[in-house]
C-alpha cells in the first residue's frame, strides 16, 4: 500500500450460486460469500477489509445482483479491482461491476429496497437441471389463486405472521410494492419488491402461496392471516435454494 494512496469507498455488484455457501455472513469454520470476498481483497491489497453486503442471504440462497460496499486505501482503479477480485474468487462467485462511490455510501444503510425472485418447478417429475435453483412441487398449483393471494399482500402491512421465530426486528411493518406470480411451462416465478424484509419473510410468503395453490388456504384466509399475525396459520418456509436476490434499489 502506497503511503499516499487515497481512501475510497467501492461499490461491488455480485452474482453467486448459494448452493455451497453457508450464507453471506462470515462464520467461523464455514464457507461464506463475505469470507471469500474479504480473502480476495487480502490477496489483492494485503488489507483485511470488511465487505458490507446489502442483505445477509441465508445458506443456499442465490444472488443475481447482491451489492456490497468496502472502504479501501489503494491506487488500484475500479477496473483493476474488477479483474483482480475475479481472479481470486471461486467459480461460484463473480463480481460483475466495481464503482467508486462518495464517502458515506453503505450498501445496507443506503438501500431503499430489494427485489427477490422465487422459482418453483411444478411438475410431477423432478428436473436435475432445476434442482439447485427451484423448489420441486409435484402436485399441480392454481396460479390464479396464488396471484389473488399475492395481491392481498401488496402494500404496507404488519408481516409478523411471515417471519422466522428468531427474528429480532423491532418493527414487523413492511411495505411490499409488488408481488407478481407468473407461469412459463412448469416454472412458476414469484417476484416480490419491497422496502425491507424480515428474516425468512419471502420464503414464508411463498410457502403460503403454495398452500393457496394447493387449495389448503384461500386468498381470504391470507387476508385473515395478515390481521391475526399468527405464524402457525401461515404456510411452510419454502426451501432456500429456490430464492434469488435479484437486485438492490438505491
132-141 as b/e: b if 16+ CB within 10 A: ebbbbbeeeb
Q: Classify 250 as helix, strand or coil.
A: coil
Residue with the three cell numbers 469470507: 35
Q: Which of 174, 175, 167 lies closest to 199, judged by CA?
A: 167
Q: Which of 147, 116, 122 lies closest to 135, judged by CA?
A: 122
**How far is 209 from 245, CA to CA, in rounded Å?**
19
CB-neighbour burial class of residue 9 (10 A; exposed 0-12, middle 13-18, buried 19+): middle
Q: Give phi and psi for 81, each to the nearest 5.
A: -65, -40
Of residues 17, 58, 180, 220, which has the active-site annotation?
Answer: 58
Residues in the chain: 250
Is 58 in the active site?
A: yes
Q: Which long-range contacts (CB under 8 A, 24 or more apart) does 175-184 make?
A: 177/113, 178/154, 179/150, 179/151, 179/153, 179/154, 179/205, 180/150, 181/143, 181/146, 181/147, 181/150, 181/209, 182/143, 183/122, 183/143
In sequence order, which residues have a C-beta less than 8 Å from that of residue 168 and are 6 or more positions away? none
Which residues are part of the catalytic machinery?
A: 58
Amino acid at each position: 500500500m502506497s503511503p499516499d494512496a487515497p481512501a475510497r469507498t467501492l461499490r461491488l455488484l455480485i452474482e453467486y450460486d448459494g448452493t455451497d455457501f453457508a450464507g453471506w455472513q462470515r462464520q467461523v469454520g464455514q464457507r461464506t460469500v463475505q469470507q471469500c470476498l474479504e480473502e480476495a481483497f487480502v490477496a489483492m491489497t494485503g488489507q483485511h477489509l470488511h465487505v458490507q453486503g446489502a442483505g445477509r442471504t441465508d445458506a443456499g440462497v442465490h444472488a443475481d445482483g447482491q451489492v456490497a460496499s468496502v472502504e479501501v486505501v489503494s491506487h488500484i482503479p475500479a477496473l483493476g479491482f474488477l479483474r483482480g477480485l475475479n481472479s481470486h474468487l471461486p467459480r461460484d462467485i463473480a463480481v460483475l461491476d466495481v464503482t467508486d462511490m462518495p464517502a458515506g455510501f453503505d450498501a445496507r444503510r443506503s438501500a431503499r429496497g430489494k427485489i427477490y425472485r422465487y422459482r418453483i418447478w411444478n411438475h410431477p417429475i423432478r428436473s436435475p437441471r432445476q434442482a439447485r435453483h427451484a423448489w420441486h412441487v409435484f402436485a399441480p398449483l392454481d396460479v390464479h389463486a396464488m396471484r389473488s393471494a399475492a395481491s392481498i399482500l401488496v402494500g404496507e402491512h404488519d408481516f409478523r405472521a411471515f417471519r422466522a421465530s428468531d427474528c429480532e426486528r423491532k418493527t414487523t411493518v413492511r411495505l411490499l410494492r409488488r408481488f407478481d406470480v407468473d407461469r412459463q411451462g412448469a416454472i412458476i416465478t414469484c417476484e416480490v419488491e419491497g422496502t425491507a424484509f424480515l428474516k425468512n419473510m419471502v420464503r414464508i410468503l411463498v410457502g403460503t402461496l403454495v398452500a393457496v395453490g394447493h387449495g389448503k388456504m384461500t386468498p381470504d384466509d391470507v387476508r385473515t392471516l395478515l390481521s391475526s399475525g399468527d405464524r402457525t396459520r401461515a404456510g411452510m418456509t419454502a426451501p432456500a435454494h429456490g430464492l434469488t436476490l435479484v437486485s438492490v434499489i438505491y
